[in-house]
Every structure is written in structure tokens, then in C-alpha cells.
């Protein structure tokens, strides 16, 4: 019974944080892209536009759900469900902290994840393969030439990029000898010479930098993000597979895209960047979360009180500054540190990778479709194969 209650609490917590995060990733994306392009970005709703996601959600829910008369109704309604279903499942078995953590003031121990699967990585691969049905079905059921082309492109693209992605994933599995996500992260613990972390991208005998890069590039293609967002290329396909979708059905595709981004970044973090292991040796590393938060708070206070650039900055920024410093002081308490520092490291790496996704979107133009396919089959695939071969040889040479 305890297990049930604990699981339900964890489920509620993860669901709430994940859903809020999905909404706010979009805010971060708009802000970052705006600043890259020398604009301000959303700032009307709430301080610095912080309530914009909430406003967007209310708008999308209350909007009229138009259904064009020429669609195939069953598949038209099914498609957004499929997309969002397969995008949201992976979070339920992605570990984000250590196992058997003792919750303070109780004698309950729990794992920092929802379920522990020993085939987690394979299941993520399988689900990401299923995710394409949402887009393909949406494209076909809309009964519209633009949507159909978008859906076709998407399925061809995802099949092609799944190959280099899977091959890139195999190399770290060879080195760490397991497919359980938790075991994979546990295998990356420790440091070389007390400086270089033993993450897979640095791990001897075959540092996996190439497979990390291949995986990230394939991840861009799998999530239909710029520069591989051919399925929804605005200037040739209007909006691609979701032309005919409005209101919550459109929001479902949007949410699925961001959830897929989070999944890809989580897998990259767990497999290549050492999951929740800190970047520096624990002695100093334990204090970094506190320092980062306090530093962020100090910057907010400085810009709010000393150099307010905009009208309300002398009120809003100090509030955030105090909140950040409070969080930083919380991280300085040893009990909390033990509990939350791994989660901090995991989230920090995840957010940095998400920032890379946004950064690339703000920087790079879109590929042409034939370039996209040629890149996958003639460059990424052979590179991933060669990388796998070299890794296999090195692992075989060192284990015996």
C-alpha cells in the first residue's frame, strides 16, 4: 500500500513538473530566439512574459476546434492522441537521480524515477519509432496535399535517421555492457586523475564523442526540429502535417514535439554525459548547485536594484533574485544537498542540451529534402558504422 501511495505522489509530482516544464520550454525558446535576433520576445503577460505559457494554454483550450469537412474523421481525431501518447510515456521510466534515496524525516527510501526497467533504452527506441504514426496519420487524414507531403516526409525522415541514431546508441552500450538506463549511468561514475569525469564521451578505451554528435544530429531529425523540420516547412508546405489542426488538437502536436525534445536530451544526458554525476569531484561539486543559484540571484538583484533597464525591473528582478538565493541556500543544507544535487546535475545537463536545440533553431537555415536524405545515408550512417566498429575492436582488445 505504501508503494502505491508513494508511486501516486511521485507520479503527480513528475506529471506537474513535466507539464509545466513543457509549457515553459516554449517560453524559453521564444525568449532565446528573440534575443538572438535582437528582439525582446513575449513580455506583455506577466513580468518578462512569464505568464505567457498560461495565457497560451487558456487560449488553446477555449478556442473553437474547427474540423474541416474533407478529413477522414476517425484518423483525424486519432492522430494527435497517438502523437502525444507516445511522446509522454518515456518520462515514466527515465531515471533522474540516485536509487534508494532516503527521504528526510521518514524511513521511506525510494528511487528517483517512476519505474525501473532493465530494458529502458530499448523501450525508448521502440516508442520513438511509434511516435511517427501520429505525424504520418495526421498528414494523411487531413486529406490535403500539403499535409500529405509533410506526413510522407516525416515518416521517410524518421526511418532514415533512426538507423544512425540506433547505431550511435550501441557504442556506449558496448562499453557499459547493459541496456538499463540506471545501470548505464552507474557505469559512468568516477573521475580520471580527479579531474576528467568518466562520462561515456570521455570514457576509455573509446571516447564516444562522435556517437554523441551523431545521436544529437539524429535527435534533431527525429523531433522534426530545425534544421531538419522539413515536415512543417512553412514556406513550402504552409504548416506541413498540422495545417488542418486547430485548438487543443494543434496543442497536442506542439506538446508532443517538446516532450520528444526532452526525451532525446534525457537519453543523451544519461548515455553520454553521465546522467546525474557531477562534472567536478564531489568535494567541490556539492557546493556548485548552491553557488550557481546564489550567483544567478545576485545577478538578478544587481540588474534590478542597481541597473534597472526596464520599467518594472526594480520590482520583478529582486523578487526572482531573492527566490534564487533562497533556492541556493536550500542547496547548502546537507540533507537537501544529498537529495537534490543529483537531480540538479541531471536537470542542468538536460537544460543545456535543450538550449543547444533552441540555439540551433535560431542559427541554422533549413536543409533541402534531398540534402537531408543524402546526409543521413551517405554521411551519418557510414560514420556511425565505422565508429561502432572501432569501439567494438577497442572494447574487445581491452576486456581480455
Partner 1 sequence: MDAILFFLFATITVICAINMVLQRHPISSALSLIGVMGSLAVLYLLLGGEFIAMAQLIVYSGAIMVLFLFVIMLLNSGAEPKRSRHKILLFLGAPLLVILLGVIGYFIQGQIPAQEMVKFGSWESGPGKPAFGSPQNVGMSLFTSYLLPFEITSVLILIAILGAIVLARKEID
> Cβ closer to partner 1: 159 or 378?
159
SS3 state of residue 198:
coil
* Minimum separation from the CB atom of position 239 to partner 1 (A): 18
How many CB atoms are located within 10 Å of the residue 7 CB? Answer: 13
Residue among 43 and 72 whose Cβ is closer to partner 1: 72
Question: At residue 199, what are phi and psi to the nearest 5 degrees?
Answer: -75, 160
**What is the smallest separation between the CB atom of 96 and partner 1, expressed in angstroms?**
22
Tell me the closest approach of the beta carbon of residue 155 to partner 1, in angstroms: 5
Cβ distance to partner 1 smaller for residue 319 or 393: 393
**Which chain residues interact with partner 1 by CB under 8 A?**
72, 75, 118-119, 122-123, 125-127, 129-130, 132-133, 136-137, 139-140, 148, 151-152, 155-156, 158-159, 162, 179
CB of 180 to partner 1, least distance (A): 10
8 A C-beta contact, residue 65 and residue 249: yes
List 109's β-bridge partners, or say none: 102
- Burial (0-12, 13-18, 19+ Cβ within 10 Å), 145: exposed
Cβ proximity to partner 1, 253 vs 346, nearer residue: 253
Shortest distance, CB of residue 122 to partner 1, whole angstroms? 4
**In this complex, which beta carbon is closest to partner 1, that of residue 145 or of residue 368?**
145
Q: How far is the CB of 377 from partner 1 (least distance, A)?
A: 13
Give the nearer residue to partner 1 in terms of CB position, either 137 or 388: 137
Listed in sequence order, the residues at least 6 apart from 16 whose beta carbon sits closer than 8 Å to its beta carbon are none
The rounded distance, in Å, linking the Cα atoms of 84 and 115 is: 20
Q: Count how many Cα atoms sit within 13 Å of the Cα of residue 273 in the half-sphere of its side chain.
A: 24
Give the residue with the Cβ less far from partner 1, 6 or 179.
Answer: 179
Nearer Cβ to partner 1, position 125 or 280?
125
Smallest distance from partner 1 to CB 51, Å: 39
* 205 preceded by a cis bond (ω within 30 of 0): yes
Q: What is the DSSP letter of 375?
A: I
Residue 242 contacts residue 253 (beta carbons within 8 Å): yes
Is there a contact between 124 and 263 (Cβ–Cβ < 8 Å)?
A: yes
Give the H/E segment covering residue 167: helix 145-176
Cell of 127: 516508442
User: How far is C-alpha 301 from the geometric centre of its chain's CA atoms?
Assistant: 30
- Give the C-alpha separation, 80 to 137, whole Å: 9
**CB nearer partner 1, residue 97 or residue 150:** 150
For 2, 282, 355, the CA distances from 51, given in Å and listed in that order, are 37, 37, 20
Q: In this structure, what is the dihedral angle of CA atoms 175, 220, 40, 290, given to the nearest 10 degrees?
A: -20
Provide the minimum distance between the beta carbon of 378 and partner 1 in the complex, in angstroms, as a whole number.
15
Take residue 33 and report the three cell numbers written for it: 530566439
Least Cβ distance, residue 90 to partner 1 (angstroms): 13
Amino acid at each position: 500500500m505504501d508503494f502505491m501511495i508513494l508511486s501516486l505522489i511521485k507520479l503527480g509530482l513528475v506529471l506537474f513538473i513535466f507539464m509545466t516544464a513543457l509549457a515553459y520550454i516554449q517560453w524559453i525558446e521564444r525568449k532565446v530566439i528573440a534575443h538572438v535576433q535582437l528582439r525582446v520576445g513575449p513580455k506583455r503577460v506577466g513580468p518578462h512574459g512569464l505568464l505567457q505559457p498560461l495565457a497560451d494554454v487558456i487560449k488553446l483550450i477555449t478556442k473553437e476546434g474547427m474540423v474541416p469537412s474533407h478529413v477522414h474523421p476517425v484518423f483525424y481525431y486519432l492522430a494527435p492522441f497517438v502523437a502525444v501518447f507516445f511522446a509522454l510515456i518515456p518520462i515514466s521510466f527515465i531515471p533522474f537521480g540516485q536509487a534508494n534515496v532516503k527521504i528526510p524525516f521518514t524511513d521511506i527510501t525510494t528511487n528517483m524515477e517512476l519505474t525501473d526497467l532493465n530494458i529502458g533504452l530499448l523501450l525508448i527506441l521502440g516508442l520513438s519509432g511509434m511516435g511517427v504514426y501520429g505525424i504520418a496519420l495526421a498528414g494523411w487524414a487531413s486529406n490535403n496535399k500539403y499535409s500529405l507531403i509533410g506526413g510522407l516526409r516525416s515518416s521517410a525522415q524518421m526511418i532514415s535517421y533512426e538507423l544512425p541514431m540506433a547505431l550511435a546508441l550501441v557504442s556506449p552500450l558496448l562499453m557499459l555492457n547493459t541496456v538499463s538506463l540506471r545501470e548505464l549511468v552507474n557505469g559512468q561514475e568516477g573521475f580520471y586523475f580527479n579531474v576528467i569525469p568518466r562520462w561515456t564521451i570521455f570514457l576509455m578505451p573509446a571516447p564516444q564523442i562522435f556517437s554523441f554528435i551523431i545521436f544529437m544530429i539524429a535527435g534533431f531529425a527525429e523531433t522534426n526540429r530545425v534544421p531538419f523540420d522539413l515536415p512543417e516547412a512553412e514556406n513550402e508546405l504552409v504548416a506541413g502535417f498540422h495545417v488542418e489542426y486547430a485548438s487543443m488538437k494543434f496543442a497536442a502536436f506542439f506538446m508532443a514535439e517538446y516532450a520528444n525534445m526532452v526525451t532525446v536530451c534525457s537519453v543523451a544526458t544519461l548515455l553520454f554525459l553521465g546522467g546525474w554525476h557531477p562534472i567536478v569531484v564531489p568535494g567541490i561539486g556539492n557546493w556548485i548547485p548552491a553557488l550557481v543559484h546564489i550567483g544567478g540571484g545576485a545577478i538578478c538583484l544587481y540588474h534590478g536594484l542597481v541597473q534597472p533597464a526596464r520599467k518594472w525591473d526594480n520590482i520583478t528582478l529582486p523578487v526572482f533574485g531573492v527566490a534564487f538565493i533562497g533556492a541556493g541556500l536550500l542547496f547548502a543544507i546537507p540533507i537537501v544537498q544529498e537529495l537534490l544535487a543529483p537531480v540538479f546535475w541531471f536537470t542542468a545537463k538536460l537544460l543545456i542540451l535543450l538550449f543547444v536545440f533552441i540555439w540551433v533553431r535560431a542559427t541554422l537555415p533549413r536543409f533541402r529534402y534531398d540534402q537531408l536524405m543524402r546526409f543521413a545515408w551517405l554521411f551519418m550512417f557510414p560514420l556511425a558504422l565505422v565508429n561502432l566498429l572501432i569501439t567494438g575492436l577497442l572494447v574487445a582488445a581491452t576486456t581480455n
